[in-house]
Chain A
Amino acid sequence: MDAIHHSSEPSATLSPTHNMLPVLADRKRVNGPLGGTSAPIYSKYLAKDPKELPERPTRSRPNNVLRKMFLKTGVTPSASGSAYLELAAPINSKSVAPGLASLSPSGLKLTCTVHGPRPLPRTAQFSPHIILTTHVKYAPFATRKRRGYLKDSNERDLGVHLEAALRGVIIGDRWPKSGVEVIITILEGEEDQWWGDDISRGNTSATGWGMMSVLSGCITVASAAIADAGIDCVDVVAGGVAAVVKEAGIPNLVLDPVPSEHKDIIAACIVAYLPSRDEITDLWVKGEIGHQNQAEDRPQTSTYEELTDNAVQAALGAHRVLISALKETADVKLGRT
């Protein structure tokens, strides 16, 4: 498995307009109270006694079962191609009644549009292949903390990874002098950790675990939208995530981890995988497993290879949904219902 890049274009995500002054942008929006507002703080956050705290959600699925996925293409008729992806929110068996919106577990909801291929502007330099531009943006209400309208570094990071994952899939030589834009709006993002850990109670390590699932979803949904737009690809690419989590001191491999369900995530890996070529177009590992020489005394410790292989398995699961969603659309198109 090696990464093949068809295009040598630099990431177009970092276009110069990003660096516009926030002041300038804010003047064009309604900004609300001058003094600024603060997010509501729930009294449960501040409970001193751990018994008063609501219980941490736990994973109810077996380790190798992915969350339910909903995928549909053609949600934005005005775009060349579009798709919508939704991952089911984890069901918390322990909570009796659904809490208020802001404390309930969230799923993942992404919408993606593809515009193009269309001719590059006259001023652009000649390009022998298609120029791919990706944008990933969180909606202001996508996460527990309200997001701004300006892109932050996480969003740019996601855009770069997505671009890398898709660049190796599109047969770029078929569209010289043209460009295609992939735009993803995250209507609801994965949480980085359980909200109870937000106030530095737990000794959870790094943040940003939620980004892994988000990126995996972005890859799958973008792949569906590109297929919907009728852009030639070597295969449909799917994203998958696997993680090593510590449960009662024992490291364990899980597919499609939900960060809020695991207190200690040691490492996570996301791949963009092409099943028919057995090729990975994007690979990103976060966290540290430790070196292999520890494996003798602690046989459960997974290696990076195992982690990647499991992420590929997760990607295969997503691929299956992707194919069936595309088939469904094709059937409707051909009138076979």
Chain B
Amino acid sequence: MAAWVERKQSLVYGSDDWLPRKLVLVRAGGTCPAPFQRPTKKQKASVAATASSSTRALNFTLHITSHHGIKSQSPSPMASTTPQSALSFPRETFAKLSPHPYLRAHLQPTSATATPTRANGRSPSQFRTPHINNGSLTHADGSAVVRIGDTTVVCGIRGEILLTSKVPGWRADKAAAEPSSGAGYNEIKELDLLVPNIELATGCSPAFMPVIPPSTLAQDLSTKIYSLLHSTNLLDREDLRIWYQPPDLSDPDRMDDDSEDDEETSASEIKAFWALYIDILFISLDGNPFDAAWAAVMSALKNVRLPKAYWDPDREMILCDDSVDKSKKLSLNGLPVAITALVFKAKEQAQSKDKKYWILVDPDTFEESLCDESVTVVVDCSEKKTRILSITKSGGTIVGREEMKDIVKLAEQRSTELSSILNG
């Protein structure tokens, strides 16, 4: 018998045209940096870009002389005519050989009017376009696929049941009395109801291979997501509670029952909690894992539909109803958006009057390898006023008050862009 097979549309990647990004990686639409000319005597190897009318065929020329080791830069036409002293590389080779000058060459404005452009064709404050696709995974209660540039993340959330009888030291009256009984008591945190884990060992990048226990970066990211989920108070704890209301036995027919017991029997109690397992898998990694992972978590949380759960007193277990109408979504408290920015320093330009650093938002892997200082800001602009939920800064000494203000402004911009996608 002959086999029949058809092509279909992808659920995970959605309708958005999913081009193999590798093919358009070089420069998609971005303008090419103008050739830069900066004769510096101190430079170990002076670097020049030969001007080329074609944007694709831009060659960078590295001059190396055996006599001094240093040679001041010669004009581009000469470089091409004297192959003995000049090695001409395609841009990829130049980027690999001397990544730092390569990125600086892109950012350094050649004229007053030119705007600095990064090696990936974006301006320093330009984010990559996000694509979000929800609910494509069958076995997850909520799921999202987020693609930001070449970084692709899948997040799946599953609800499981934690019986209060299994919680050590749980007393029914504690929560039944009033949720806010103990000041500062947060059962979502105390009982560990949110379980985020990030997996990088999916072959998403050559740096993370399977079989190794989670890398430091994966642990770091998991912990960050975990603490951010708790510190933002994102989830309503009522959503995660499963109540039981014992039937009212004080029927009019049975008036002889003790009326005192009624109070106790009809008091509803928490029988169980939903624990949310949030698993975040990277399919592809090209920088900025945290922002993408957080966007995926947010989007998946918005997508969660927990079935209606109830306590069955006869079977003494929690049962769920499988109808969609009775299931409910989580009510989220705000819509936090994370943005990460890196500071790129021009190391060898300490004396010159030129701008010494650039703040690059939404960095890719190449930029991440060249920058030490990083700032992550989490803002929530869902209400009128912007709330800053978290600021994390590490490494370097450049970012001060002014720079931080700029980054927060950028975060606000990004937040409006992302939340329209997250909500829509």
Rounded to whole angstroms, the CA-CA distance of A118 and B4 in the bound complex is 38
**Is A74's CB under 8 angstroms from B319's CB?**
no
A to B CB contacts below 8 Å, 5 in the list = A25-B214, A74-B21, A113-B204, A143-B139, A149-B199
Rounded to whole angstroms, the CA-CA distance of A112 and B206 in the bound complex is 13
**Which B residues touch A218, using CB under 8 A?**
none
Known interface pairs A39-B160, A137-B202, A187-B137; A33-B192 also in contact (CB < 8 Å): yes
**Is B138's CB under 8 angstroms from A70's CB?**
no
**Which B residues touch A64, using CB under 8 A?**
1-4
Q: Which residue of A lies closest to B166 (CB)?
A: A35
8 Å CB contact of A69 from B1, B8, B315: B8
**Is B203's CB under 8 angstroms from A185's CB?**
yes
Q: Which residue of B lies closest to A187 (CB)?
A: B154
**Is B209's CB under 8 angstroms from A41's CB?**
no
Candidate in A82, A256, A316 with the most chain B CB atoms within 10 angstroms: A82
**Is A188's CB under 8 angstroms from B138's CB?**
yes
Q: Which residue of A lies closest to B149 (CB)?
A: A77
**Is B7's CB under 8 angstroms from A70's CB?**
yes
Candidate in A18, A37, A68 with the most chain B CB atoms within 10 angstroms: A37
8 Å CB contact of B283 from A28, A185, A253: A185
Q: Which residue of B lies closest to A24 (CB)?
A: B213
Q: Which residue of B lies closest to A74 (CB)?
A: B20
Q: Which residue of A lies closest to B326 (CB)?
A: A100
- Closest chain-B Cβ to A103's Cβ sits at a distance in Å of 5
**Is A30's CB under 8 angstroms from B222's CB?**
yes
8 Å CB contact of A115 from B19, B137, B206, B222: B206
**Is B137's CB under 8 angstroms from A66's CB?**
no
Number of interface residues of B (CB under 8 A): 88
Q: Is B143 an interface residue (CB 8 A)?
A: yes
Q: Which residue of B lies closest to A185 (CB)?
A: B202
Stretch of A208-216, A292-300, A317-325 contacting B (4+ beta carbons < 8 Å): A317-325
Q: Which residue of A lies closest to B223 (CB)?
A: A30
Rounded to whole angstroms, the CA-CA distance of A98 and B11 in the bound complex is 15
8 Å CB contact of A140 from B8, B150, B277: B277
**Is B6's CB under 8 angstroms from A68's CB?**
yes
Q: Is A97 an interface residue (CB 8 A)?
A: yes
Q: Is A255 an interface residue (CB 8 A)?
A: yes
Q: Is A32 an interface residue (CB 8 A)?
A: yes
**Is A316's CB under 8 angstroms from B18's CB?**
no
Q: Which residue of B lies closest to A106 (CB)?
A: B138
**Is A181's CB under 8 angstroms from B2's CB?**
no
Q: Is B285 an interface residue (CB 8 A)?
A: yes
Known interface pairs A40-B160, A101-B140, A188-B137; A70-B10 also in contact (CB < 8 Å): yes
Q: Is B124 an interface residue (CB 8 A)?
A: no
Q: Is B161 an interface residue (CB 8 A)?
A: yes
**Which A residues touch B142, using CB under 8 A?**
101
**Which B residues touch A62, using CB under 8 A?**
4
- Closest chain-A Cβ to B94's Cβ sits at a distance in Å of 20
Q: Is B23 an interface residue (CB 8 A)?
A: yes
**Is B284's CB under 8 angstroms from A77's CB?**
yes
Q: Is A239 an interface residue (CB 8 A)?
A: no
Rounded to whole angstroms, the CA-CA distance of A268 and B161 in the bound complex is 36
Known interface pairs A70-B9, A187-B154; A37-B320 also in contact (CB < 8 Å): no
Q: Is B332 an interface residue (CB 8 A)?
A: no
Interface code B141-166, partner A: CB below 8 Å = 1, 0 otherwise?
A: 11100000010101011111111001
Rounded to whole angstroms, the CA-CA distance of A288 and B278 in the bound complex is 40
**Which A residues touch B312, using CB under 8 A?**
43
- Closest chain-B Cβ to A69's Cβ sits at a distance in Å of 6
**Is B12's CB under 8 angstroms from A42's CB?**
no
**Which A residues touch B1, using CB under 8 A?**
63-64, 253, 255, 310, 313
**Is A187's CB under 8 angstroms from B12's CB?**
yes
**Is B318's CB under 8 angstroms from A74's CB?**
no
Q: Is B191 an interface residue (CB 8 A)?
A: yes
Rounded to whole angstroms, the CA-CA distance of A38 and B273 in the bound complex is 11
**Is B168's CB under 8 angstroms from A35's CB?**
yes
Rounded to whole angstroms, the CA-CA distance of A33 and B210 in the bound complex is 26
Q: Is B13 an interface residue (CB 8 A)?
A: yes
Rounded to whole angstroms, the CA-CA distance of A113 and B210 in the bound complex is 11
Rounded to whole angstroms, the CA-CA distance of A332 and B203 in the bound complex is 24
**Which A residues touch B191, using CB under 8 A?**
33
Q: Is B98 an interface residue (CB 8 A)?
A: no
**Is B226's CB under 8 angstroms from A30's CB?**
yes
8 Å CB contact of A77 from B22, B140, B211, B323: B22
Chain B residues 1 to 46 lying within 8 A of chain A, measured CB to CB, are 1-13, 18-23, 25
**Is A100's CB under 8 angstroms from B279's CB?**
no
Rounded to whole angstroms, the CA-CA distance of A37 and B275 in the bound complex is 7
Q: Is B123 an interface residue (CB 8 A)?
A: no
Rounded to whole angstroms, the CA-CA distance of A253 and B202 in the bound complex is 36
Q: Is A93 an interface residue (CB 8 A)?
A: no
Known interface pairs A40-B159, A44-B322; A66-B206 also in contact (CB < 8 Å): no
Interface code B175-219, partner A: CB below 8 Å = 1, 0 otherwise?
A: 000000000000000011101110100111110011111100001
**Which B residues touch A35, using CB under 8 A?**
162-163, 166-168
**Which A residues touch B309, using CB under 8 A?**
40
**Is B211's CB under 8 angstroms from A314's CB?**
no
**Is B11's CB under 8 angstroms from A68's CB?**
no
Rounded to whole angstroms, the CA-CA distance of A15 and B3 in the bound complex is 38
**Is A141's CB under 8 angstroms from B279's CB?**
yes
8 Å CB contact of B18 from A43, A75, A111, A317: A75
In addition to A43-B321, A112-B203, A146-B158, 16 A-B residue pairs with Cβ atoms within 8 Å of each other are: A40-B161, A66-B5, A68-B6, A72-B13, A75-B284, A76-B152, A76-B204, A78-B284, A84-B12, A86-B10, A103-B322, A109-B12, A113-B203, A139-B154, A183-B209, A316-B3
Q: Which residue of A lies closest to B214 (CB)?
A: A28
Q: Is B305 an interface residue (CB 8 A)?
A: yes
8 Å CB contact of A30 from B168, B196, B365: B196
